[in-house]
């Protein structure tokens, strides 16, 4: 081992010194690195901190061995501590964290889909903090059903005779098929045998629920007669599936809902429709004609669907849930399935779902209070001041003449996401960031923003970072501006006099 490497190893501060420094950050409060340390490491369990310091020291030893550190001044306490603090914060932060969504995708499955309305957030906190009548009938003073809290609200919104809510829509589909069609055939149009994402494939769910898939028609065209010819004594149901983020266009044909329902009923079978998103309010009637493209659940039920299923956290704008609504005789059977116990909702999501559904009692309240619906119905004109505000804040901290950053406001397109309204483009306003340096790579900036506190997700297009204000609310704009400025500012040193490469 080279002599100076030996010296370097010995120059490394000890475990106990480093641990002491970062756990007693107050002692170093006058050091610049101590500030983030004080706020971010104060509540971290000591065992986690110790692990972080151990790993950090291991990394230093590797860096010495590999010849990356050759100067002992790099191993002094003041030199190491800022890196150690950053490393420890990164390693010990909770895994599930808040992020800023500047993608313009409203129902972003990877970002937790719908945000809850404040009313729902309050209801969740209350249900979490105190005991509740989750399964207790306060009228009778006896055991009650957790399913009672949302059933009548769902019936009101959909016109269904009865309803049930379970863990998510995948569970809803599984439970419905398992109850009504086990060991029998489920007839589905070939064009609807889709994969929704996250491995939810209709043929697999049918198989898992113990049913036999009977596909009919062709990929692009399926006629009512295809269904009629497939009916037999083995049939359990006719299933229609919303193809979500997938469309067949051109020479197409599908059997109508009312005809399918009539056909199924003539054979005393249920007609089931998996709607995916499920719209509870007529947004076209509220002055948003383009949002009338998806039929409301009430219309689907009025058209004859015996059972519909849809998600709680897509267009409905509530928590993760799967809603099953339809004819009483089927819902009664489903409610008796022992599988329901495994697929039931938890009390926090139930509280959120009830609070969200209550907002629908007043359609305009639903549209303005439920973030998903609010974001869907915000017009581009309303978004322009927000995009300008973000641009203004960015220009203030990243002055163009000093740092060279080009901040602008541009029109663009947002998307609903979650498989709903797949072809709909919502006009929006974006704040864009670019830099004339040949070294500027917006994808690099995009990646660095995943490490900020909180992380920020944005799109990259036309060699610029694009921030869609549709999915950032007013209160998030200063925070977004702060993490953007903090990340962008050090990327390009200000041009030196006479040696500018810009």
Ligand X SMILES: *Cc1c(COP(=O)(O)O)cnc(C)c1O
Of 76-84, 163-171, 254-262, 327-335, the segment contacting ligand X by CB under 6 A is 163-171
Number of residues that bind ligand X (CB under 6 A): 15
Taking residues 456 to 475 in sequence order and writing x for each that binds ligand X by CB under 6 A, - otherwise, the string is --------------------
> Should residue 311 be labelled a site residue for ligand X when binding is judged by CB under 6 A?
yes
**Residue 372 is a binding residue for ligand X (CB under 6 A):** no
String marking each residue 187-216 x if it binds ligand X according to CB under 6 A: ---------x---x----------------
CB of 168 to ligand X, least distance (A): 3
Closest to ligand X by CB, 176 vs 255, is 176
* Residue closer to ligand X (CB basis): 75 or 241: 241
Distances, alpha carbon 317 to alpha carbons 89, 100, 108, in Å? 33, 18, 12
Q: Shortest Cβ contact with ligand X: which residue?
A: 276
Furthest-apart CA pair in the chain: how many Å? Answer: 91
168 binds ligand X (CB under 6 A): yes
- The CB-of-312 to ligand X minimum distance in angstroms stands at 7
Under the criterion CB under 6 A, does residue 367 sit at the interface with ligand X?
no
Identified binder of ligand X from the candidate list 101, 114, 158, 169, rule CB under 6 A = 169
Whether 400 contacts 437, CB under 8 Å: no
How many angstroms separate the Cα of 65 from the Cα of each of 2, 3, 14, 340? 10, 12, 18, 58
CB of 93 to ligand X, least distance (A): 27
Shorter beta-carbon distance to ligand X: residue 35 or 213: 213
Q: Please report whether residue 322 would count as binding ligand X according to CB under 6 A.
A: yes
DSSP 195: B
Residue with tokens 């599988």: 339
Asked if residue 419 binds ligand X (CB under 6 A), the reply is: yes
- Cα 179 from Cα 430, distance rounded (Å): 48
Q: For ligand X, which residue of 103, 209, 235, 244 counts as binding (CB under 6 A)?
A: 244
Q: How far is the CB of 445 from ligand X (least distance, A)?
A: 31
Query: For residues 9 and 200, which CB has a smaller minimum distance to ligand X in the complex?
Result: 200
Q: Is 170 in the site for ligand X (CB under 6 A)?
A: yes
Which residues fall within 8 angstroms of residue 417, CB to CB, at 6 or more apart?
Answer: 105, 106, 107, 108, 109
Closest by CA to 420, choosing from 194, 107, 195, is 107
CB of 29 within 8 A of CB of 13? no
Tell me how far, at minimum, the Cβ of 200 lies from ligand X, in Å: 5
CB 443 within 8 A of CB 460: yes
Q: Which is closer to ligand X, CB of 304 or CB of 417?
A: 417
The H or E element spanning position 412 is strand 406-417
Site for ligand X in 247-276 (CB under 6 A): 274, 276
**Only segment of 144-152, 168-176, 403-411, 475-483 that touches ligand X (CB under 6 A):** 168-176
Q: Which is closer to ligand X, CB of 340 or CB of 390?
A: 340
Q: How far apart are CA 318 and CA 312, in angstroms?
A: 5
Determine the interface stretch with ligand X among 19-27, 46-54, 236-244, 486-494 (rule: CB under 6 A): 236-244
| DSSP code per residue over 322-369 | EEEEE-HHHHHHHHT-THHHHHBPPHHHHHHHHHHHHHTTSHHHHHHH
CB 347 within 8 A of CB 134: yes
**What CA–CA distance (Å, rounded) separates 38 from 42?**
6
Q: Which runs of consecutive H residues, i.e. helices, occur in 370-468?
A: 371-377, 380-397, 400-403, 442-448
Residue ranges in 193-307 assigned as alpha helix (H): 202-208, 224-230, 257-266, 297-302
CB of 87 to ligand X, least distance (A): 36
Residues in a beta bridge with 165: 323
Which is closer to ligand X, CB of 274 or CB of 468? 274
Question: Does the protein bind ligand X through residue 106 (CB under 6 A)?
Answer: no
- Is 233 exposed, middle or buried, given 0-12, 13-18 or 19+ CB atoms closer than 10 A? exposed
CA angle, 105 then 278 then 173, to 5°: 110
- Taking CB under 6 A as the rule, which mask of x and - marks residues 112-151 in contact with ligand X? ----------------------------------------
Is residue 378 a contact point for ligand X (CB under 6 A)?
no
Binding site for ligand X (CB under 6 A): 168-170, 173, 196, 200, 241-242, 244, 274, 276-277, 311, 322, 419
């Amino acid at each position: 081992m080279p002599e100076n490497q030996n010296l370097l190893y010995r120059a490394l501060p000890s475990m106990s010194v480093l641990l002491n420094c970062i756990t007693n950050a107050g002692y170093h409060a006058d050091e610049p690195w101590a500030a983030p340390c004080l706020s971010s490491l104060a509540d971290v369990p000591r065992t986690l901190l110790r692990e972080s310091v151990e790993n950090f020291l291991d990394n230093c030893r590797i860096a010495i061995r590999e010849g990356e550190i050759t100067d002992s001044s790099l191993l002094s306490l003041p030199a190491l501590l800022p890196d150690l603090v950053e490393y420890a914060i990164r390693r010990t932060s909770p895994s599930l964290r808040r992020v800023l969504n500047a993608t313009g995708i409203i129902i972003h499955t990877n970002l937790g889909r719908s945000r809850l309305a404040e009313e729902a957030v309050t209801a969740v906190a209350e249900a979490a903090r105190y005991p509740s009548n989750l399964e207790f009938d306060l009228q009778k003073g006896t055991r009650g059903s957790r399913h009672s809290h949302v059933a009548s609200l769902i019936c009101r919104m959909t016109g269904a005779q009865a309803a049930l809510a379970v863990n998510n829509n995948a569970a809803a589909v599984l439970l419905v098929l398992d109850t009504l069609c086990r060991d029998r055939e489920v007839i589905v149009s070939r064009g609807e045998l889709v994969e929704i994402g996250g491995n939810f494939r209709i043929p697999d769910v049918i198989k898992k629920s113990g049913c036999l898939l009977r596909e009919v028609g062709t990929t692009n065209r399926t006629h009512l007669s295809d269904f009629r010819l497939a009916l037999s004594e083995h049939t359990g149901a006719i299933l229609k599936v919303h193809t979500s983020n997938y469309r067949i266009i051109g020479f197409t044909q599908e059997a109508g809902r009312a005809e399918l329902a009539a056909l199924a009923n003539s054979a005393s079978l249920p007609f089931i429709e998996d709607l995916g998103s499920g719209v509870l309010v007529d947004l076209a009637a509220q002055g948003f004609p383009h949002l009338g493209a998806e039929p409301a659940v009430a219309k689907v039920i009025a058209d004859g669907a015996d059972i519909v299923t849809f998600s709680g956290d897509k267009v409905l704008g509530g928590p993760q849930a799967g809603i099953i609504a339809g004819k009483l005789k089927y819902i009664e059977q489903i409610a008796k399935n022992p599988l329901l116990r495994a697929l039931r909702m938890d009390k926090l999501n139930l509280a959120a779902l009830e609070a969200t559904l209550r907002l629908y009692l007043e359609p305009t309240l639903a549209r303005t209070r439920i973030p998903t619906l609010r974001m869907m119905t915000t017009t581009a004109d309303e978004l322009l001041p927000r995009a300008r505000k973000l641009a203004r804040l960015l220009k203030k901290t990243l002055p163009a003449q000093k740092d060279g950053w080009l901040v602008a406001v541009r029109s663009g397109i947002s998307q609903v996401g979650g498989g709903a309204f797949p072809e709909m483009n919502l006009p929006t306003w974006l704040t864009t960031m670019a830099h004339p340096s040949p070294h500027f790579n917006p994808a690099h900036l995009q990646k660095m923003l995943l490490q900020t506190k909180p992380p920020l997700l944005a799109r990259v297009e036309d060699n610029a970072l694009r921030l869609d204000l549709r999915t950032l609310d007013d209160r998030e704009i200063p925070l977004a501006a702060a993490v953007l400025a903090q990340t962008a500012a050090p990327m390009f040193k200000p041009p030196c006099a006479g040696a500018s490469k810009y």
